Amino acid sequence: MSRIDSLVAAMTLTEKLGQMTMATGDSAVTGAVMRTGLDAGIASGAIGNVLNIAGADKARAAQRLALESRLKIPLLLGLDIIHGHRTIFPIPLGETAAFDPLLWEATAREAAKEGAADGLHMTFAPMLDVARDPRWGRIAEGSGEDPYVGQAMARAKVKGFQGGRLDGADTLAACAKHYCAYGAPTAGRDYATTDVTPRALREIYLPPFEAALNAGVATVMPAFSSIDGIPLSAHRGLLKDYLRGKLGFDGVIVSDYNAIAELIHHGVAADVVEAAALALKAGIDIDMMANAYHDGLPAALQRGLVTMTDIDTAVRRVLRLKEQLGLFDDPYRRGGVESATVLAARRQLAREAATRSIVLLKNDGAALPLAEGRLAVIGPLADAAGDMRGCWSAAGVASDCVSALAGLRFALPHQSILYAPGVDIESDDESGIAAGAALCDEADAILLCLGESAAMSGEACSRAHPGLPGKQAALVDAVLARAGGKKVIAILFSGRPLVVPDLVARVDAVLAAWAPGCEAGNALADLLTGRASPSARTPVSWPRAVGQIPVFFGERPTGRPASSADHYTSKYLDVPNEPLFPFGHGLTYGDFAYTGLQATPDRAAEADGFTVSVTLTNQGPRAAGETVFLFTRDKVASISRPMELKGFSRITLQPGESGTVSFSLAARDLRFPGPDLEPLYEPGEIEILAGPSADRARLLSATVRLV
């Protein structure tokens, strides 16, 4: 008899439910419901999994309690390590802007090492929710608007977190969340219902999760929200039938925080007994912080709503995960002290990731890089080290972060740098505006550090007006009125695209810094001084007005495309259809010209493919890196098709240098869900497009044929 079989046979019902229960520690607060009696529950076997414990000593102490229980089953310890543990990397939306899966994998690998050194076994990441609505605060945690990018992110993060094998002393079990379509809530409001078509599920929201499963992700977390009136925590069709059945996932499904009990609020369960039964029957193995399995399943058994086989199946999955993590063989294999050399290398990676995540949105008159001279640094985010962490900063602390002001002062020790916050991030106090604007008189260039606090994005942080909060707009007005023709550069810190068209129009240069992480100031200094060239691209379309939202490049064609000559076409009366900045937009200190797009052969069967190449020449005065995007569009199909991203690649060129970027495009990757939502290969003409963004005016095109 196997170890798992023996344990299941020996367990009481309480001990089985303990393996299906996850309670919280006190190292982080990630929900409203807290659990008392944690130590006693662990020691009795009534709690088998814990989140929000950080620190090797705390982890070992909790594990010792578990090993003193009757069956000595080790604990599974998890934490939300979304973009770093103690060393904080850019928020995922920002890191996506690098468009480099190797970088994404590297930061996840280092986060896993750091988390494992703190005694942890799993992370509730990556978040794979495609999001096209910047009002939604959790857009910060994902990879933006495109499912192809989401698939690439899924593969990279799962590989980084889990390493070569789950039982490694420096690996964490990854968790693909939030399954699925959580990133499309009604009105951009967190936890709200989701209404998407079955086609949208297959084309947009499910592919990143399928990629995570193919990469071997150990666990999956369902979304808080409902689809078509069915909450994901009780959605047998999407969990049991599709995820477990069609896709073959046999790993652990863990609920989100208190989500099972919230089935009562959804109106699909009358009490915790029904809620627990619905979740278990749907395929959820671990109840996080609802206590629903502990309180509800005994009565559900008596009512015949579930069977002991249902419970045993879930327990076996949890025990198998613990076995795969090596916890039975050595429950203390994770936890230890890392060397100063390792920590220094990790900080350097954080600096590289931050440098490559910051997008240069505008640079009129070569305002950047900065010329020598006196610099006025103004704004509430200039010296806000803690806010550089962004949302979900795990065990990161503010004192470990470098603010923009500190980074500039370190990089320019002999240059005069004047500073004033001007206003607070959110308050209505305008008393500091005059002093901030007055610095313009003494400066040769002005740097405005504006945006959101770390607490303004992430979970439960939806914004109906995602612009500059507080009195920051008034500060901008005062500075621009006083600047007198001097260069004004705005740095936007945020967890989302901010709707600030007026600001963008009035300043000379704009950087989207997102929340860059612990090395924020040093990375910004590298870019502002020209020690590095910006190379990031925005992974979401940047709206010019809230009324455009959701705005994204992959819209299907309409029968009445916008035309200024025809009133009865699809357009706004008051703003252009196009976003302020398209998906993939980003400038460099180079100037790249695209020529010679080729796609060979000119036709291919399903088992074959195409090679697409394009030549780039850096006509600018500085070396720079350029990201090239490959799109396709099915010209005539049985289902109307949008322009779709099929690849991206990066090239670095010296001034005057030319180079070629090539893509391999499999013909089978041009399939799409047919009328029955199954993959359909359809012969016909395919438009191939390549260029620096999703702006059709800047894309070169060629045509090939599927046969």
Catalytic residues: 256
- Smallest Cα–Cα separation from 335: which of 23, 110, 54, 668? 54
Q: Which two tokens stand for residue 22?
A: 């996850």
- Tell how far CA 267 is from the center of its chain: 30
Spatial contact of 350 and 358, defined as CB atoms under 8 Å apart: no
Number of neighbouring beta carbons within 10 Å of residue 25 = 18
Query: What distance in Å separates the CA atoms of residue 627 and residue 475, rounded to the nearest whole number?
Result: 35
- Tell how far CA 409 is from the center of its chain: 31
Q: What residue has token string 């709707």?
A: 499
Query: What distance in Å separates the CA atoms of residue 62 and residue 25, rounded to the nearest whole number?
Result: 10
Distances (CA, A) of 270 to 191, 235, 261, 695: 20, 16, 10, 51
3-state secondary structure 627-649: EEEEEEEECCCCCCCCCEEEEEE
Query: What distance in Å separates the CA atoms of residue 25 and residue 42, rounded to the nearest whole number?
Result: 11
Q: Which two tokens stand for residue 678?
A: 């199954």
Query: What distance in Å separates the CA atoms of residue 641 and residue 637, rounded to the nearest whole number?
Result: 7
Q: How many residues does the chain have?
A: 707
- The secondary structure of 226-271 as a DSSP string is EETTEEGGG-TIIIIIIIIIIS---SEEB--TTTTTTHHHHTS-SS
Residues 6+ away with beta carbon under 8 Å from 361: 504, 510, 511, 512, 538, 542, 581, 585, 586, 587
Spatial contact of 193 and 226, defined as CB atoms under 8 Å apart: yes
ω before 601 within 30° of 0 (cis)? yes
Query: What distance in Å separates the CA atoms of residue 612 and residue 665, rounded to the nearest whole number?
Result: 7
Q: Which two tokens stand for residue 254?
A: 């863990």
58: part of which helix (H) or strand (E)?
Answer: helix 56-67
